[in-house]
Structure 1
């Protein structure tokens, strides 16, 4: 394998492409020695890279009616998207000032034309001399590209990845480390997805920080935003369809009311044109008036297609069983053959192995898989399959389309994952839940008939497909507090970037209901604490403080009613959290008072020899760490160091645990700040490096939980390097912190934007001292813009910071040294706060 000429890390000597099948739970064991030239592939790969050559399209005259809408057949000429094509062409062009490896995400809801745009772009790239590969989430044998084909493709390599938001994160990372993407010369990867979310934020940071790839993104806007554009596109599509559909009469085609926003997507316009042409030959036929009726018309034609195949002995499976298989494919497919067997068996489609095999074969005749060795190809386009699912389930108001009495049972069976391996069941359930949540947003009966009852029976499903899917579910109008109460125990217990916002919404609704009917001060304190934590994770600092104020009041009431170790510990926890919330709003003296009272309450409990003493010692360690940071904020550094070292001793003295390790990492980070204030710079750097080591290892395993802590630790690392005059190392650490925080801001600006601004301000000072003046000014100006917005909402908390930033900018503009080069000590929160 040729070494990459860029700064991106390249494997030394050998490269491991894949080690196992993504659909199984089987472990793998690998041993390689010596220098290996070329790619090394062990086991079944988790994806497949297929050469996208200029193959002849299937004749349009042979396509079924619904297939005319499938983007892969390119029936309707590609129109519009000139600006997007220009931007992609510019991104593709290799230049000396552009990195060799670049990734672009295009995201938009289904039906906006992402696939057609990508295919058109791929054609342009191929004609310009690029080798074009398509990535499939497919553990089959990768297609081999002939040497002659590679020799002809001299410009570079373009890889297309569709449904990026449906790929497991580990499989996407495996794809991006494939040696074929790290060969010499330009490489571009175009990723398509319906939605951005934490899957993308985490991947984007990893691509930038680890692989040193340039990463960009844009949302694909509606193809036809106004009625005139829709009119043009409708008639262009109708003319093309009329040339293919026998007996059609283009003069009899009538457009629906295209001012309706429902016709804003490319798919809805083509659907309307297709159905209008299909019924134009007979004036007695009722022209479908809504998109639902248009989808229903196509679905009726699909059933007629099955019957025709059955009558001609092309298939032997009955229509009802094919119907079930189509529904299963929409929920779970496409999948490898052996997974298809498990899914079909789980859903009760076919009662014995021989029948399952025949059913899968017959379904593949009706809907040929795109990938060899795979089965259960879903009905295309996606929105047609979603309409099929919605109309199959009972509860809709479209009387022309009778629901299937067996449909609910099939959906529930697929969601159960019974009979599948753990890995298979997890992926099938996540995919089915994603589809159901998408469909339920537009078809309310899907929620009430199957999705919400399934969640009530098995609330673990709520988190099976990620925070974005859960947010869609929580927004459904029929979700009640009883269901939310069943979901709550399965939410991530601590900060989790993917779930923080939706978890806050769930807990908010539950807290309002429970507080309205619960007078017990102990329970009220717990409710306010839980809600305050979720608000803090979501970034609402003032609301989080309000909840902890209420928690302290309830805790005091609980102690007054019953003075016991339990109520004292509960009050101490409320005070500990209140100190964090006050400090987040720069109210440092009040934060110190709250933290000190928490320590005073916990100290006798931790010294008691009773059974609960160990738990109280952990709580005391966290409270002491909090107290140390608050003492440091008011410049009482001697006392701060004493409290910080006591915290470290408690975290290291107890038995090893995850809680202790997280606490120790935070205590090390805060102790390093205090050591630096006392002038022990080398010691401070060594201490914070211990914190960085712990957070880096934890964030590697669970990035959505621990990356925020790693970002804060890296800021401290950067400041300690700068104090030692190691400015290049300071910039490196600060830039990594900024990169993490930028991704976190995209996921949740309210929670992380102020931290980003603070690190940018620090980075500005380091850059200025390295004479990188333009970059320094830009960082400080960005930080000022953030603090300006926050200061407008809360001048008391942020006016001092904002003034210092503006003084720096004024000095920079006058080409003078900034007045405050290194100011922002963020510290570490107690992780369980």
Structure 2
């Protein structure tokens, strides 16, 4: 959860539609990019109805209106994704892609199809279907390359699509490919931000954050630390200007910084700040930030354990596992890996601290079962984690008291 699919880039205003429909589209976009996702759902539903026409299940009257409807559905999928409503996001993105597939891929439909494919990739990633997400995201990258060659105005969309492709490739353990496309995304965003800092700082921050993860996966630790420090600095600036939208992003980057700091005190400080931010966000939006919050709690526990503060760490992992179980109940396929990691942290803290070893063994055994399934599906990504979990389970089995069979 310490990286997420990048959000949609600002979309062009629809052409060939009424002033009323254009105003509704603009309002939907403003709400999405302001982070007001619940309001955006209402606005996008109303806007989509304008473009569909009066008949129930109506179709757009012309190609321009169909392109505008596709963009509205992309905005709606973005809001649904941010709220964790992945099944609805998938249905919405699929409808948007179907609109594009039904048209010749020429203007005005090349750009909407590229955007809708990116939305579909987001939904598939969120539902734990990375193999499918790679295929549609790569197609989106190819379309955006075509657009950007013809018109440099599409470079932000290309940079965003490359960033997303790096994330989904990493979920398949294809770290070398992921690193290459992440580097290209960052290079594009740097050029864009140099020309227009206000518009492109957020895209650059997302890309650099994800580049840090790619570098870390390739054991480029010094480069990863420099990248994540840059991402944190960028997100601090964004969060100071617009906390409602960017404090969550800052917490995510701080979690990555905690992973990459070599100093234990630095790691603890970074993740403690992330947890404090997420505590506050969770009070105002219960359940919305659960996956990232649980991941940050596990990192917090690991940092405490590294400093020998095992009792505090054990309390934190108990909470982290409970929160991740809630997330796994909502989205079981996508959250299996996150739950397995949380359980492994839970077991590790108890093994190292000699605390409630029976509970630690139970957690390790559950983590191993989850990791076996995941390693069979994506061995490049999960086989090392499975080996670690098996070793931890064996260690705990040797020292945990026998189960009460009475």
Q: Distance in 2 between matches of 1:666 and 1:649?
A: 13
Give how far 1:595 is off. Answer: 1.2
Change (3 A) 1:461 1:742: farther
Give how far 1:499 is off. Answer: 2.3
What is the match of residue 544 of structure 1? 133
What is the match of residue 531 of structure 1? 120
Q: Does 1:502 align with 2:119?
A: no
After superposition, the C-alpha distances for 1:473-518 in whole angstroms (9 at most, x for unaligned) are xxxxx96777997877556615356622122122213312323315
Question: What SS does structure 2 have at the residue aligned with 1:705?
Answer: coil
What is the match of residue 623 of structure 1? 207
Q: Say whether the 8 Å CA contact 1:578–1:594 is kept in structure 2.
A: yes
What is the match of residue 168 of structure 2? 581
Q: Distance in 2 between matches of 1:458 and 1:639?
A: 41
After superposition, the C-alpha distances for 1:771-819 in whole angstroms (9 at most, x for unaligned) are 3222121111111111222233333432332233223333443449xxx
Give how far 1:765 is off. Answer: 1.0
Give how far 1:532 is off. Answer: 1.0
Q: Say whether the 8 Å CA contact 2:167–2:178 is kept in structure 1.
A: yes
Change (3 A) 1:515 1:699: farther
Matches within 5 A, 1:31-110: none
Q: Does 1:605 align with 2:192?
A: yes
Give how far 1:697 is off. Answer: 1.4
Change (3 A) 1:568 1:717: same
Matches within 5 A, 1:165-180: none
Q: Say whether the 8 Å CA contact 2:291–2:324 is kept in structure 1.
A: yes
After superposition, the C-alpha distances for 1:329-352 in whole angstroms (9 at most, x for unaligned) are xxxxxxxxxxxxxxxxxxxxxxxx
Give how far 1:726 is off. Answer: 0.9
Change (3 A) 1:742 1:613: same
Q: Choose between structure 1 and 2 for higher RCO, CA contacts under 8 A separated by at least 6 residues.
A: 2
Q: Distance in 1 between matches of 2:171 and 2:161?
A: 15
Q: Distance in 1 between matches of 2:248 and 2:353?
A: 35
After superposition, the C-alpha distances for 1:291-340 in whole angstroms (9 at most, x for unaligned) are xxxxxxxxxxxxxxxxxxxxxxxxxxxxxxxxxxxxxxxxxxxxxxxxxx
Matches within 5 A, 1:177-216: none
What is the match of residue 300 of structure 1? none
Q: Does 1:738 align with 2:325?
A: no
Matches within 5 A, 1:108-257: none
Q: Distance in 1 between matches of 2:104 and 2:296?
A: 41
Q: Which has the higher strand share?
A: 1
Q: Does 1:778 align with 2:362?
A: yes
Q: Distance in 2 between matches of 1:716 and 1:792?
A: 26
Moved more, 769-778 or 725-734: 769-778
Alignment coverage as a number of residue pairs:
338
Q: Distance in 1 between matches of 2:163 and 2:124?
A: 16
Q: Distance in 2 between matches of 1:720 and 1:495?
A: 30
Question: What SS does structure 2 have at the residue aligned with 1:495?
Answer: helix
> Structure 2: where are the runs of 5+ without partners?
1-41, 49-55, 61-65, 401-406
> Structure 1: where are the runs of 5+ without partners?
1-455, 463-477, 817-833
Q: Distance in 1 between matches of 2:116 and 2:73?
A: 16
What is the match of residue 799 of structure 1? 383
Q: Does 1:758 align with 2:341?
A: yes
Give how far 1:576 is off. Answer: 0.8
After superposition, the C-alpha distances for 1:239-286 in whole angstroms (9 at most, x for unaligned) are xxxxxxxxxxxxxxxxxxxxxxxxxxxxxxxxxxxxxxxxxxxxxxxx
Q: Say whether the 8 Å CA contact 1:492–1:499 is kept in structure 2.
A: no
What is the match of residue 716 of structure 1? 299
Q: Distance in 2 between matches of 1:733 and 1:699?
A: 16
Change (3 A) 1:639 1:766: same
Q: Distance in 2 between matches of 1:706 and 1:604?
A: 32
After superposition, the C-alpha distances for 1:49-105 in whole angstroms (9 at most, x for unaligned) are xxxxxxxxxxxxxxxxxxxxxxxxxxxxxxxxxxxxxxxxxxxxxxxxxxxxxxxxx
Q: Decide which of 214, 230, 236 is 1:646's aligned counterpart.
A: 230
Q: Say whether the 8 Å CA contact 1:742–1:756 is kept in structure 2.
A: yes
Matches within 5 A, 1:9-48: none
Give how far 1:526 is off. Answer: 1.0
Q: Distance in 1 between matches of 2:314 and 2:300?
A: 10
Q: Distance in 1 between matches of 2:161 and 2:184?
A: 10
Q: Does 1:517 align with 2:106?
A: no
Q: Distance in 1 between matches of 2:104 and 2:324?
A: 39
Q: Decide which of 330, 333, 336 is 1:747's aligned counterpart.
A: 330
Change (3 A) 1:795 1:616: same
Q: Distance in 1 between matches of 2:178 and 2:219?
A: 14
What is the match of residue 79 of structure 2? 493
What is the match of residue 351 of structure 2? 768
Give how far 1:653 is off. Answer: 3.1
Q: Distance in 2 between matches of 1:600 and 1:721?
A: 36
Q: Does 1:636 align with 2:223?
A: no
Q: Say whether the 8 Å CA contact 2:346–2:363 is kept in structure 1.
A: yes
Moved more, 804-813 or 545-554: 804-813
What is the match of residue 809 of structure 1? 393
Q: Say whether the 8 Å CA contact 1:533–1:544 is kept in structure 2.
A: yes
Matches within 5 A, 1:324-339: none
Q: Say whether the 8 Å CA contact 1:496–1:704 is kept in structure 2.
A: no
Change (3 A) 1:653 1:573: same
Change (3 A) 1:490 1:778: same
Q: Say whether the 8 Å CA contact 1:745–1:751 is kept in structure 2.
A: yes
Q: Distance in 1 between matches of 2:386 and 2:319?
A: 24
Query: TM-score of the superposition, structure 1-length normalised?
Result: 0.38
Question: What SS does structure 1 have at the residue aligned with 2:308?
Answer: coil
What is the match of residue 656 of structure 1? 241
Give how far 1:461 is off. Answer: 12
Q: Distance in 1 between matches of 2:397 and 2:77?
A: 49
Give how far 1:531 is off. Answer: 1.1
Q: Distance in 2 between matches of 1:598 and 1:719?
A: 31
Q: Distance in 2 between matches of 1:533 and 1:561?
A: 26
After superposition, the C-alpha distances for 1:429-486 in whole angstroms (9 at most, x for unaligned) are xxxxxxxxxxxxxxxxxxxxxxxxxxx9994599xxxxxxxxxxxxxxx967779978
Q: Say whether the 8 Å CA contact 1:460–1:490 is kept in structure 2.
A: no
Q: Distance in 2 between matches of 1:706 and 1:537?
A: 14
Larger radius of gyration: 1
Q: Distance in 1 between matches of 2:367 and 2:303?
A: 21
Q: Say whether the 8 Å CA contact 2:228–2:253 is kept in structure 1.
A: yes
Q: Distance in 2 between matches of 1:557 and 1:519?
A: 11
Q: Distance in 2 between matches of 1:705 and 1:789?
A: 27
